[in-house]
Amino acid sequence: MKGLSWLLIVPLALSACTGTRLREPATGTQTAYAERAGRLGQIRSWALSGRISLDDGKEGGSGSLRWGVGPRTSELDFHGAMGRGAWHLSISPELVVLREANGERQEADDVDELVRQRLGWPVPVAALGWWVRGLVAPGDVDSVQLDRRGRPVRLAQDGWRVKFERYTTGEGESLPLRLDARRGQYRVKLSVRRWQMGDEDAQGG
């Protein structure tokens, strides 16, 4: 365990504003996380491009992913993922719309339920919107392991165990480049090639 003493496993309580609030007394890493979460929570528009891999223990697929988030809407484009060609997900507070390459269209109130119905197994799309930024999603949390900069290294939430394998470096906020989420036989992997933060026009929102 030498060299890992700076890693910390802590339970979290959540606030409606930023998605997380660390229980007192706060340590340095907890404070760093809370400050980072507050800064990221102020960025209402962001986008990423990369690859996604999905596996239900029997079959899987991978493909390219483009995810753009604006103040009110999110747009996700999958190409080649899930073994079903191209998908486009449009998410707003009022409605979720899934369009497929063959012209089929489905609507629902909840994105996770819509994807579960289409795939036959749960993909935590709503939570991934938080995890992919290195944040805890609103809801129950079992544990989170932080590095000295307050960035999650491992997270257990809603039955999923998430491993953050790499973060960006350089100026600005440090964001995940790779994450691996598992729940029983289910597995979701994301590899981000490019991040864009704070440009509302680019997000289509």
Other CB atoms within a 10 A radius of the CB of residue 19 amount to 19
What pLDDT sits at residue 22?
A: 43
Longest Cα–Cα distance of the chain, Å, equals 55
Percent of the chain whose pLDDT exceeds 90? 61
6 part of a folded domain = no
Instruction: For residue range 104-118, list pLDDT tens digits in order.
Output: 899 999 999 999 988
The per-residue pLDDT of the chain, averaged, comes to 83
Q: Are 153 and 166 in contact (CB under 8 A)?
A: no
| The pLDDT value given to residue 6 | 32
- Smallest CA-to-CA distance from 124 within 104, 144, 138 is with 138
Joined tokens for residue 75: 């747009």
**Is residue 4 assigned to a domain?**
no
Q: Coil, strand, or helix at residue 14?
A: coil
Report which of residues 169 and 51 the model is more confident about: 51
**What's the rounded Cα separation, in Å, for the pair 20 and 36?**
11
Specify if 10 maps to a domain: no
Helix locations, 133-181, DSSP H: none
Does the pLDDT of residue 23 top 60, yes or no? no
CA dihedral sign of residues 72, 105, 129, 48: negative
pLDDT at 205: 39
What is the pLDDT at residue 121?
85
Q: Which of 49-63, 67-81, 122-136 has the highest mean pLDDT?
A: 122-136
Model pLDDT, residue 27: 74
Six token digits for residue 32: 């760093």
Q: For residue 157, tell me if it sits in a domain.
A: yes
What SS3 class is residue 26? coil
Residues in the chain, overall count? 205
Token pair in block for residue 18: 């930023």
| Tally of domains within the chain | 1
97 in any annotated domain:
yes
* pLDDT in the model for residue 171: 63
Strands (E) in 8-59, as ranges, are 8-10, 12-13, 21-22, 46-55
Q: Is the pLDDT of residue 42 over 60?
A: yes
In a domain, residue 3? The reply is: no
Residue 65 lies in a domain: yes
- Cα Rg, the chain, nearest whole Å: 17
Main-chain dihedrals φ then ψ at residue 143, nearest 5 degrees:
-165, 155
pLDDT of 201 higher than 50: no
Max avg pLDDT among 2-11, 78-87, 159-168? 159-168
Domain holding 78, by residue range, is 15-199
pTM: 0.83
**Per-residue pLDDT tens digits for 57-106:** 888 788 999 999 999 999 999 987 555 578 899 999 999 999 988 888 99
Task: Dump pLDDT digits (tens) for 67-80.
Answer: 999 999 999 999 87
Asked if the model's pLDDT at residue 198 lies above 60, the reply is yes
Question: Measuring CA to CA, which residue among 155, 152, 122, 121 is closest to residue 139?
Answer: 155
Is 205 part of any domain?
no
Place of tokens 């009022």: 94
CATH number at residue 151: 2.50.20.10
Q: What is the pLDDT of residue 19?
A: 45
Buried b (16+ CB within 10 A) or exposed e, 187-199: bbbbbbeebebee
Residue 135 has pLDDT above 80, yes or no: yes
